[in-house]
Amino acid sequence: AKPVIVAIDGPSGTGKSSTSKAVAAQLGLSYLDTGAQYRAITWWMVHNGIDLEDPTAIAAVAGKPEIVSGTDPDKPTITVDGVDVSGPIRTQEVTSKVSAVSAVPEVRSRITELQRSIAAGAEDGIVVEGRDIGTTVLPDADLKIFLTASPEARAARRSGELKGADIHATREALIKRDAADSSRKTSPLAKAGDAVEVDTTELTLAQVIECVVTLVEEKR
């Protein structure tokens, strides 16, 4: 089979990560979680006391941390300057601050470059998940998927993951982050014109995976 490049975009809580990992594992493709990269650079900025209300301060150090992503869908890894940050990047603090960092053009251009080189190096093909993969990072992807779900379904899934988190607070935080990601000037969260939209509200994870696997197989 020829290497296939799959872009999976959408807001949080649509099942993007679970779907992307499972599809990559099932089809023997590499996997890249681009949200983890933005979280990792945000973690580094918090760790180093950068003022995240100041985009100029963020831009000035955007190139500093070395971010390395493992692309095995069965055990995705991410390090910053050699430190494994898989755990720390999932904290509430990083989640609430990542949109301010990811909106800075200097951050986006360097992370985008990293993403393109990882995709180009994936010999058997890759599933890349994020917000702007189909529109900006890999506009020539073989297949573009845009996952959606109702805010209620997304909040329910997220609070399930966070084990007992308040569903209303989760819903508000999620809506706020999506609004920030969708309204930023540089490569906002958006559906590419040639993306296939899959509404996952009424689907099980297994059904979404099956749907995407079928679409990828049609491209191979």
Give the residue numbers of the binding site. Answer: 10-18
Nearer to ligand C5P, 180 or 203 (CB): 180
Q: Kindly compute the dihedral angle of the four CA atoms of residues 71, 178, 62, 111, in this order, to the nearest 10 degrees.
A: 30
Shortest distance, CB of residue 105 to ligand C5P, whole angstroms?
12
Residue 220: which of 29, 9, 53 has the closest Cα?
Answer: 29
Alpha helix (H) residue ranges in 16-130: 16-27, 34-47, 55-61, 92-102, 105-121
The C-alpha R_g of the chain, in whole angstroms, comes to: 16
* Contact of 165 with 119, CB cutoff 8 Å: no
| Distant-in-sequence, close-in-space partners of 102: CB < 8 Å, separation ≥ 6 | 38, 42, 108, 181, 184
Q: Residue 213, CB half-sphere, CA atoms under 13 Å: how many? A: 15
Nearer to ligand C5P, 34 or 69 (CB): 34
If binding is defined by CB under 6 A, does position 102 make contact with ligand C5P? yes
* Contact of 71 with 113, CB cutoff 8 Å: no
If binding is defined by CB under 6 A, does position 34 make contact with ligand C5P? yes
Shortest distance, CB of residue 51 to ligand C5P, whole angstroms?
18
> Binding site for ATP: residue ranges?
10-18
Q: What is the DSSP letter of 89?
A: G
Q: Which of 20, 24, 27, 35 binds ligand C5P (CB under 6 A)?
A: 35
Give the footprint of ligand C5P on residues 176-195 (CB under 6 A).
Answer: 177, 181
If binding is defined by CB under 6 A, does position 171 make contact with ligand C5P? no
Give the footprint of ligand C5P on residues 141-160 (CB under 6 A).
Answer: none
If binding is defined by CB under 6 A, does position 69 make contact with ligand C5P? no
If binding is defined by CB under 6 A, does position 39 make contact with ligand C5P? yes
Q: What number of chain residues touch ligand C5P (CB under 6 A)?
A: 14
Q: Which of 19, 69, 99, 135 binds ligand C5P (CB under 6 A)?
A: 99
If binding is defined by CB under 6 A, does position 38 make contact with ligand C5P? yes
Residues that bind ligand C5P (CB under 6 A): 12, 34-35, 38-39, 98-99, 102, 130-133, 177, 181
